Amino acid sequence: MKLRKAASFAIALTVVTGLLAGCSKGNSANGAVKEEKGETPAAEQAAKDVKLTFFNTSAEVNTVFEELFKKYHEQNPQVTIELIPTPIGGAQLEKFQSLLASGNPATIVNLDAGTILQYKDDFLDLEPEKAKYEALTNPGAIDGALLDGQFLGIPWTAQGYGLLYNKRAVEEGIGGAFDPASVKTRDDLEAVFKKIEASGKAPVMLHGADWSLGAHYLGLTYSLQSQKVEDNRKFVEELKNGQVKLTENPQFTGLMDTFDLLKKYNARKSDPLVADYNRDSADFAKGAAAFYFMGDWSWAVIGTLEGRDADFGILPLPVSNNPEDFGNTQVAYSEPKLFAIDDSKSTPEQQEAAKAFIEWMVSSEDGQKAIITDMGLSMPYKDLKAKSTNVMSNAVSEYVKQGKIINIGVINYLPQDYWAKTGAAMQKYLVGNIDRQGLAQEVQDYWKSYAGK
């Protein structure tokens, strides 16, 4: 009897201490990794197995990445890569932060450039790799990826946005061939819209989500100030200090005048905030609306759609009635996601393996095929070994080749909540809850709350 009690007590004690030990073990292991860092010669480790983790915020292409990891593992059996997926459109940043805070960050991350900048101390400086990537990519691609002048992340995808158009819908609306170059000003655009409306079609689809309105639409205010990202950053600083009155800023007023136009001819006029991305994209792709303020990434939805039209293109968003003004002939363009390598907990051999893997991903035939064909993205790289089926990104590429782009790099330096907060103000404006003055006020108030930060 006594023995049983003693035994049960002992078991309980082992269970509890075991659990506690299990808890602390993780910590000490992490500590060990840190101590090890820099001491073990890389060469000695090279033959050993390396395990990498890959944190992915491009959630819609999780499976393509996983296939790539498998392929790479077949070619390089000593390297295993594990995907840390995130859900589409939610809690991505939260997950990244909790991994970091728990001392368990991913070796490679695929993150927004702005996020990498915020955590720049945790990422490896890729300066030694810069020359190699400059040779691999299109001119300007690496410059566009620099964050505060530092090369912290490798660009692998490029995106552009503006006024997408459905060629068939536009041509049926205006009753003739459509030449995108004929729209150089806001009035030109309105003339086209009028014709389309008269034919009984909806002229334009305006997606009512805060990210589209806040980051892509209103965000152009900052990028349109100048061709130089530096100047645009200065403009944002002036907004924070309250030195700028938006209602007196020609770029802002021009943009909002165009917005009024889109609002007037919006296919979702009766219920503008519905913001169902799949439905809006599908309606546009099937010709229910002739134009769509969106980017080439919508191909992921449109490309596989049944019964869609075949010909699409992109127009710059006209922001004034002077065809010479900056923005009227340029489409917004950026390298939104970068691959970066962790430098807080990863071992040198992990980092070396990560570098090799990323290079393989962006330069090998397998990698490029996966990115261009399977993901439907465009890459800012030279001599691509795969042909893109994304009609829209091909249209964007034409503008890139001619140098007709708005560099929207300033968004990398903006606080993370700007699109949600200013997007909400734009939504209010869209449904007529506030007027132009009120919108300017709310946006200015938002920036002032970041004064000195």
Partner 1 sequence: MNKKLSLKNAGTFLVFGGPSIFAFAAVVIIPFIVGLYLTFTNWDVRTGDSSLIGFTNYLEVFRDKVFLQQLWFTLKYVFFTVVIANVFAFFIALALTRGGRGEQWLRTGFFTPNLVGGIVLGYLWQTLFSQVLPYLGAKYGWELFQTSWLTNTGTAFWALIIATAWQLVGYLMIIYIAGFTGVPNDVLEAASIDGAGRTSVIRRIILPLTVPAIVICIFISLSRSFLTYDINLALTKGGPFNSTELATYHIVQKAFLSNQYGVGQAEAVVLFAVVAIIALTQSYLLKKLEVES
Distance CA 352, CA 444 (A): 45
User: Which residue in the set 132, 286, 369, 428 belongs to the binding site for partner 1 (CB under 8 A)?
Assistant: 428
Phi, psi of 430 (to 5 degrees): -65, -35
User: Which residue in the set 26, 38, 90, 242 belongs to the binding site for partner 1 (CB under 8 A)?
Assistant: 90
Strand order, beta sheet including 108-112: 79-84, 50-56, 108-112, 337-341, 154-155
Shortest distance (Å) from residue 344 CB to partner 1: 9
Closer CB to partner 1, 300 or 424, in the complex: 424
250 contacts partner 1 (rule: CB under 8 A) = no
88 contacts partner 1 (rule: CB under 8 A) = no
**For residues 330 and 320, is the Cβ–Cβ distance under 8 A?**
no
Q: Which of 198, 188, 160 is nearest to 333 (CA)?
A: 160
How many CB atoms are closer than 10 A to CB 101? 9
Site string for partner 1, 378-417 (x = CB under 8 A): -------------------------------------xxx
Token pair 């090799």 is at which residue?
A: 356
Phi, psi of 390 (to 5 degrees): -80, 100
Amino acid symbol at 224: L
Closer CB to partner 1, 162 or 208, in the complex: 208
**For residues 210 and 423, is the Cβ–Cβ distance under 8 A?**
yes
Q: Is the dihedral of CA 303, 306, 310, 316 positive or negative?
A: negative
- Stretch near partner 1 under the rule CB under 8 A, chosen from 18-26, 49-57, 283-291, 326-334: 18-26
Amino acid symbol at 218: L
148 contacts partner 1 (rule: CB under 8 A) = no
Site string for partner 1, 210-249 (x = CB under 8 A): x---------------------------------------
Distance CA 231, CA 225 (A): 7
Six-digit token pair at 179?
Answer: 């030449």
Distance CA 324, CA 184 (A): 9
Closer CB to partner 1, 122 or 335, in the complex: 122
User: Which residue in the set 88, 198, 420, 451 belongs to the binding site for partner 1 (CB under 8 A)?
Assistant: 420
H/E run at residue 81: strand 79-84
Site string for partner 1, 271-300 (x = CB under 8 A): xxxxxx--x---------------------
Shortest distance (Å) from residue 240 CB to partner 1: 15
Distance CA 102, CA 322 (A): 54
* Displacement of CA 116 from its chain's centroid (Å): 12
Shortest distance (Å) from residue 136 CB to partner 1: 30
431 contacts partner 1 (rule: CB under 8 A) = yes
User: Which residue in the set 119, 193, 293, 333 belongs to the binding site for partner 1 (CB under 8 A)?
Assistant: 119
**Site for partner 1 (CB under 8 A): how many residues?**
41
Name the site residues for partner 1 (rule: CB under 8 A): 5-6, 8-9, 11-13, 15-16, 19-20, 23, 90, 93-94, 97, 100-101, 118-119, 121, 208, 210, 270-276, 279, 415-417, 420, 424-425, 427-428, 431, 433
